[in-house]
Amino acid sequence: MSNYLDYQAAKPVDKRVLDEMLPYFSEKYANPSSLHADGDVATRALDESREKISFFLNAPEGSSIVFTSSATESNNLAIIGSALRNKRKGTHIIISEIEHISIHNIAKYLEREGFTISKLPVDQYGIVKVEKLEKLIRDDTILISISTASNEVGSLQPVEEISRIAQKHGVLYHADAVASEATVPLDLTNTPIDMLTLSSNDIYGPRGVAALYMKKGVRVNPLIIGGGQEMGMRSGSENIPGIVGFAKAAEIAKSEIKQEGPRLSGLRDKLIKGVLETIPKSHLNGHPEKRLPHNAHFRFDYIEGESLILGLKDQNIACATGSACSSKTLEPSHTLISMGLLHEEAHGSLVVTLGRFTQDSHIYELLESLPKVVKRLRLLSPLTPPDLLKQIKEEGEN
């Protein structure tokens, strides 16, 4: 396995989670909709898992947890489901300019269906300009969807302020918490978020499982119609092994998050300091302090991010150059462009995301290899200015 530093894209399943799941594949395999005793075992597992996810969120009494197949599905259910449910009240929805690509594409779909989308701008650090939010709210505004943190540059969003503004105006607030759920504690009893998207794999659970939290009284139209599972919100037989694993992952994250956050922050800061001190014309994207503990997002002048990733790949190091869900395109990151960067600046980015199994040695290895890769690419780049090129060559001779 390589030196894996791309945890925002995918995380391994924790061994403790896997052990919890295994009996539900071959021993406790009944359908929770069945009325026999074996079905009761599956029903209890489903109910207990829902309780564990609620405890993970410190969810208020009476709220609902709806299990889905992915965070993208949860986002669809929250945004499209509430848009259809509340269409008579209004057709105006607010998102931020730097939302996950799934939310941007949902917004485009709703625009084609007659809804109006407003996009809240962000500052140079990728934090939404919350003072402009109230100005965007109209009489026909029915939903605000702004994530808890940028999944790309790692900046934390002012969730409490957003939720208070939404509550003041009687507008639903949905937050995609996938980027932050593993490292930033969630407390929905004291933060009035109406709907929240969670992902299992982003807390070291299995893939193919996610959830949508809905506050008591919130209603959405279901998007998958069938047998009425998940309180009628998401039909289809529940993935019990996956849900059990998701719940175990949430249980572990809840117990370890206060220690894990500071540990990752220390590694992150060590990496940021090392990169900015050893590589000229390097920059940190996102807020220097109000950022996810596990995220370090850099840009390097005069080189392409894709070439940088391939150079690190040759050194057996796995990083990213943008959101994993949109990195197959050749377009610059919409997040970086919204933050005010030029296209050529946005193309030279490197995303390093740390995780539960990252150690000091992984950081040292990256700090050893990265300057060499950057130098080699700048020597090849026609954009590198003569003075920097001369400096690189002189360092090589020495």
pLDDT tens sequence across 81-139: 999 999 999 999 999 999 999 999 999 999 999 999 999 999 999 999 999 999 999 99
User: Is pLDDT at 323 greater than 80 in this prediction?
Assistant: no
- Counting the structural domains of the chain, the total is 2
Could you tell me if residue 8 is inside a domain?
A: no
Query: What sign for the dihedral angle of Cα 266, 268, 269, 273?
Result: positive
The set of catalytic residues is 325
Clarify whether residues 121 and 56 are in a common domain.
yes
DSSP state of 65: E
pLDDT in tens, 254-298: 999 999 999 999 999 999 999 999 999 999 999 999 999 999 999
CB 43 within 8 A of CB 243: no
Could you tell me if residue 39 is inside a domain?
A: yes
Classify strands 64-68 and 116-120 as parallel, antiparallel or unpaired: unpaired
Q: 254, 279, 310: which is the final residue of a domain?
A: 254
Selected residue with higher pLDDT from 250 and 344: 250
Domain that holds residue 66: 13-254
Distance between CA 254 and CA 235 in Å, rounded?
Answer: 29
Distance between CA 252 and CA 338 in Å, rounded?
Answer: 36
Clarify whether residues 266 and 214 are in a common domain.
no
What's the Cα-to-Cα distance from 9 to each of 152, 179, 206, 354, rounded to whole Å? Answer: 10, 10, 13, 11
Clarify whether residues 153 and 191 are in a common domain.
yes
Clarify whether residues 233 and 339 are in a common domain.
no
Q: 211, 228, 254: which is the final residue of a domain?
A: 254
DSSP state of 60: P
Whose tokens are 């950057």? That residue is: 374
Partners of 172 in beta bridges: 143
Clarify whether residues 165 and 262 are in a common domain.
no
Please state the pTM of the whole predicted model: 0.93
Clarify whether residues 217 and 262 are in a common domain.
no
Instruction: Give helix 240-278 / helix 360-380 axis angle, nearest 10°.
Output: 60
Clarify whether residues 183 and 299 are in a common domain.
no
Clarify whether residues 268 and 361 are in a common domain.
yes
Please provide the DSSP assignment of 116-137 as one string. EEEEE-B-TTS-B-GGGHHHH-
What H or E segment, with its residue span, contains residue 143?
Answer: strand 141-145
Partners of 120 in beta bridges: 96
CATH of residue 94's domain is: 3.40.640.10
CATH of residue 386's domain is: 3.90.1150.10
